[in-house]
Structure 1
Amino acid sequence: MSKKTLVLGASLKEERYSNVAIYRLRKNNIETVAIGLREGIVDDVKIHKELLPFIGIDTVTLYLNPQRQPQYYEYIISLKPQRVIFNPGTENPEFYKMLSENNIKSEVACTLVLLGTGQY
């Protein structure tokens, strides 16, 4: 099964966890796409500013605080991912409920820890 992952809230800044996550996902040979506020390249992944209709997304890993998430609710649900990972600081019970209603699993976890422990 593909684990194609969308990093939502991707950053070009090397000290940001979303940036590190892109590198680690690629190191684990996971197909990765990214959306952020600024376009650019991290490793071999292009960060897009626009909400593209990516196909075959298994996982969306969020790096957006809950106040910034509502504008992405419909977009994320439209991608029909298997799961959405809520990294530390992104926890959002309102969105968990919406995802559940659309048969999408919510996982409150750290993508970096999941990758590091082989649980991704």
Structure 2
Amino acid sequence: MLKRIITGVAVLGLALGGAVATASTASAQTGTGCNYTGSEPTLSEWSSNAVAVQQLQCELNRSLNPASHTPLTVDGSFGPNTLNAVRTFQGCAGDGVDGSVGPQTWASLDFWAYSPNYVC
């Protein structure tokens, strides 16, 4: 009898654990929001790669608290507003503040854009 109870609890635990894992995975996949490109080229002010700039702008909007930072228009234009947002993000993330979006800034953006918190 005890063996049946233990087996039943173990099966129930596996079933619940699987359901929880499935729910969090599905949530992460459907809640991304920034699906312009998977390419992460080095970008700077007036970069002409509009799709990559849209990805950047979207991830910046997801990383910076809209209560204290004006959200960017996701238009693919790396102008002064995007430059200011990049510099703000870099300062908050502890990256070097140079306004250029290279591998280190992309890695930080990838983390903060999909985090439940804002970097600042």
Structure with the bigger RCO (C-alpha within 8 Å, sep 6+) is 2
TM-score when scaled to structure 2? 0.26
TM-score when scaled to structure 1? 0.26
Structure with more strand by fraction: 1
Structure with more helix by fraction: 2
Q: Computing the radius of gyration over CA atoms, which structure comes out larger, 1 or 2?
A: 2
